[in-house]
Each structure stands twice: as C-alpha cells, then as structure tokens.
Amino acid sequence: MKVLGIRYCSVSREVAPLVEFFGTGLGLPRMNLEGTDAEAFEGAIFTAGDSWLEFWGESEGMAAGVMLQIIVDDAEAMAEHARANGVEVSGPMDAHGERIFFTTAPNGLAISFQSKLEEGK
C-alpha cells in the first residue's frame, strides 16, 4: 500500500472568502470542473501537485466540517491493515471513480482513504 497524496476537504457556510484566499491570495491553481455537475458546486478545488484542497458550501446532506482524505494505490489493502491494527473502518463506498473507506482519528478528525477504481467498475 502506497500513499499517493492527500486532500483537505472543508465544508462551511462561508466559502467565498476561502476561494478568494487560496485562489487569488495564494495563487493556487483551480481545478477545471468543466463537464461535471460543476453548476451545482458551490466552492472550489485547488490542485497542489498530486494533492488538493476542496472547499464546499454547506447544504442539505453536506454538513459543515473538515475531512482529511488520504489517496492510496490500494484502499482495500489499507482497510485490511487498519482493521488488523484495531482501527474502526466503515465502507467501502464507490463514488467519483474511487473506492472510499471512512474512519475517525482519536481527536475526532474525519478521515477517508480511497483509491481509483479499475476501468469499467
């Protein structure tokens, strides 16, 4: 199992100041969401190498909070490893072309880890 990158995901009521800060203020490149359901997306995704920062607007079904997403080459292997070491893991869930598992760090931080699904899945 190899870690490929991380994503920081924040859901909040006030997204515009974050988009301004990271996009204009820090000059991070914004991901092009053309061809997706970008019209319904209030926020932005900023790329940082193989990692990125996501900022979403709070809405029904999308409660305010912060999540660390760990991108790995094999989420199934990471889930097996975590469970074997006493970590409570839920999932998987397949979405956006990824297999995703969820857990919570001892300090309450929501964490997901995921890997790309094979083509055709």
The C-alpha atoms of residue 93 and residue 110 are separated, in whole angstroms, by 15
CATH code, domain carrying 100: 3.10.180.10
Q: What is the pLDDT of residue 48?
A: 85
> Based on the structure, what is the number of domains in the chain?
1
Structural domain includes residue 58:
yes
By the 8 A CB rule, do 57 and 11 touch?
yes
| 97 occurs within a structural domain | yes
C-alpha closest to that of 101 among 74, 61, 119: 74
- pLDDT (tens digit, 0 to 9) for every residue of the chain, 121 residues total? 899 999 999 999 888 899 899 989 989 998 877 655 555 567 888 988 889 999 988 888 778 899 999 999 999 999 999 999 999 999 999 998 999 999 999 999 999 999 999 875 5
- 14 domain-assigned: yes
The answer to the question of residue 121 being in a domain is no
pLDDT single digits (tens) 21-37:
998 998 999 887 765 55
Question: Would residue 86 be called left, alpha or beta, if left means φ above 0 and alpha means ψ between -120 and 50 degrees?
Answer: left
**Residues of the domain holding 78:** 3-116
Provide the terminal-to-terminal Cα distance of the chain, rounded to the nearest Å.
Answer: 20
